[in-house]
C-alpha cells in the first residue's frame, strides 16, 4: 500500500515535502508501509524501523518513529523543519503522538494521514487515508 499511495502524490516530489503520518497499533505494518514507499522511490537500501535511532535517512526519504519519544521537544530536535524545507518525503510512525506539530506544516507540505488497522484475521490489514 505504501508504494501505491506514494505514487498518488509523487508529482509533488521536489516542489513540496510529502509527509505520510502513520497511525496504528504495534505490528500493524507501519514499517512495511515505509518499505513500499522506498521501493516506489527506487531506494534499494534495506529499510528498517527507526525505533531506537528515532530517524533513518534514505536519500530523500526520511523515516521517523515517535514511539520512544518522551516529550514533544525531543521530536522537534529531530529536525523536521529542515526536512520539510528540503522538500523530502517523510514517513512518521506513531504520528498521532506528534499530531499538533505535524499540523503546523499543512501549508508547506502535503500531509497524508494513514491509519493501519488489523482486520478480523491477524494477518490482514485495513488501510485508510486522508489528505487534510
Domain ranges of the chain: 2-126
Please answer whether residues 33 and 20 qualify as being in contact, where contact means their C-beta atoms are separated by less than 8 angstroms.
yes
pTM here? 0.91
Segment 11-33, tens digit of pLDDT: 999 899 999 999 999 889 999 99
Long-range CB contact pairs, 102-109, < 8 A, 24+: 102/19, 102/21, 105/17, 105/19, 105/80, 106/132, 108/16, 108/17, 108/84, 109/16, 109/17, 109/18, 109/19, 109/84
| DSSP secondary structure string for all residues of 36-105 | HHHHHTT--SPP---TTTSEEEETTEEEEE-TT-SSHHHHHTT-HHHHHHTT-EEEEETGGGGHHHHHTT
CA distance 114 to 37: 13
The fold adopted by the segment(s) 2-126 is Rossmann fold (3.40.50)
> What is the mean pLDDT of the segment spanning 38-61?
92
Q: What percent of the chain has pLDDT over 70?
A: 98
Segment 58-68, tens digit of pLDDT: 999 999 999 88
Predicted pLDDT at 39: 97
Amino acid at each position: 500500500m505504501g508504494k501505491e499511495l506514494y505514487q498518488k502524490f509523487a508529482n509533488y516530489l521536489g516542489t513540496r515535502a510529502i509527509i505520510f503520518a502513520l497511525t496504528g497499533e504495534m505490528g500493524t505494518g507501519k514499517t512495511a508501509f515505509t518499505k513500499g514507499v522506498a521501493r516506489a522511490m527506487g531506494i534499494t537500501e534495506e529499510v528498517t524501523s527507526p525505533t531506537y535511532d528515532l530517524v533513518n535517512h534514505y536519500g530523500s526519504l526520511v523515516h521517523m518513529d515517535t514511539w520512544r519519544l518522551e516529550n514533544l521537544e525531543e521530536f522537534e530536535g529531530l529536525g523536521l523543519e529542515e526536512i520539510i524545507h528540503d522538500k523530502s518525503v517523510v514517513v512518521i510512525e506513531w504520528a498521532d503522538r506528534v499530531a499538533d506539530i505535524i499540523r503546523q506544516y499543512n501549508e508547506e507540505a502535503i500531509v497524508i494521514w494513514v491509519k493501519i488497522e488489523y482486520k478480523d484475521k491477524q494477518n490482514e490489514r485495513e488501510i485508510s487515508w486522508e489528505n487534510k
